[in-house]
Amino acid sequence: MRVGTDGPVRTITLNRPAALNSFTAEMHALLLPALDEAAADDSVRAVLITGAGRAFCAGQDLNDPGMAGSAVDVGAVIERHYRPLALRLRTMPVPVLAAVNGVAAGAGANFALCCDLVVASRSASFIQAFSKIGLVPDCGGTWLLPRLVGRARALGLAMTGDRLAAEEAARIGLIWQCLDDAGFMDGAMALARRLAAMPSRALAETRRALDSAAGMDFADALTLEADTQRALGRAGDFAEGVAAFLAKRAPRFRDR
Ligand code: T3D
């Protein structure tokens, strides 16, 4: 795995291209601490995750002796690695962007979908590969898929395991945007920099409020909005955003 810094953007590149960046126990042991470290570093205001080579991530490495095979408790693997990873992504204090540069399969697809924004290159694709090996979607897939694209499409994708092209993924709302292959990483980095210049705390609260409201009735969601706005209204970024608007200048957000 490669971890880099581009101003306020922390970049994490899955780096096992020969095996399409599939997850091993060793990779998990690097990935979660890298996210924890980005979360703890106040200079980081956005995280961009991508893959080296022609793939984003092919999910679980089916050859990894530490994690696959009939003797392995697959549920324990999920509890040990994928659950903490998914929860970490959904509680980051800054926005997380998945730049899906190629195929994203199995837990690799849902790992991307756990991120706040997903952009994919036109040649990329998403595969819910689980059904082909006798499993159900994991890494948050059962929760995310129906919420993103509705039950009919979620079941279609999960049961068939068919490849979904990036353009179609954007059209049906599975991801944010499909970008041309040429200049893909520049486009993704430009979006990450844009997010990094925004009020991080408000963006993280936006994610939290949307995720929480999904399990609430309308009245409770309105209460959550009021509570969240009350807290954000007392924070520095709100004062800065209003002051910058009135002074017709660019804001300098600092809260996290
Ligand atoms: O413990 C547990 O298992 C629980 C956790 C489960 C979570 C999961 O993610 S389950 C789903 C696991 N992932 C898959 O089932 C996807 C398997 N891969 C594929 O279906 C295909 O590789 C792709 C559709 C992603 C890409 O196809 P293609 O034709 O572009 O590439 P390829 O030729 O199949 O793969 C290139 C190489 O990567 C190849 O190695 P080789 O022959 O050149 O030495 C292939 O074996 C390797 N590779 C691809 N995916 C994986 C992999 N090696 C290990 N694990 C993989 N998941």
Q: CA-to-CA distance for 112 and 241, rounded, in angstroms?
A: 30
**pLDDT tens, position by position, 142-201:** 999 999 999 999 999 999 999 999 999 999 999 999 999 999 999 999 999 999 999 999
The protein residue whose alpha carbon is closest to atom 39 in ligand 1 is 19
pLDDT at residue 65 is higher than 80? no
Class of domain 2-196 (CATH, top level): alpha beta
Question: Is residue 68's pLDDT more than 60?
Answer: no
Distance 228 CA to ligand 1 centre (A): 42
* CB 137 within 8 Å of CB 105: no
104 ligand 1 Cβ < 6 A: no
Assess whether pLDDT exceeds 80 at residue 19: yes
Ligand 1: atom nearest CA of 61 is: 55
Helices and strands per DSSP (H, E), number in the chain? 11, 10
For the chain, the maximum distance between any two Cα atoms, rounded to a whole number of angstroms, is: 65
Where are the domains positioned within the chain?
Answer: 2-196, 200-247
- 198 — phi, psi (to 5°)? -95, 170
Query: Structure tokens of 148?
Result: 């993103």
Percent of the chain with pLDDT over 70: 98
Give the pLDDT score at 72.
79
User: Of all protein residues, whose CA lies closest to atom 4 belonging to ligand 1?
Assistant: 74
Instruction: Say what angle helices 218-233 and 200-213 make with each other, to 10 degrees.
Output: 170
Residue 58 φ/ψ, nearest 5 degrees: -95, 25
Give the Å distance between the CA of 155 and the centre of ligand 1.
Answer: 22
Ligand 1 in contact with 103 (CB < 6 A)? yes
Give every CB contact of residue 216 below 8 A, 6+ residues apart in sequence. Answer: 224
Identify the pLDDT of residue 64: 85
Distance CA 127, CA 107 (A): 9
- DSSP letters spanning 103-162: EEETHHHHHHHTSSEEEEETT-EEE-GGGGGT---TTTHHHHHHHHH-HHHHHHHHHH--
Nearest C-alpha to atom 47 of ligand 1 is from which residue? 19
200-247 is classed in which CATH architecture? Orthogonal Bundle (1.10)
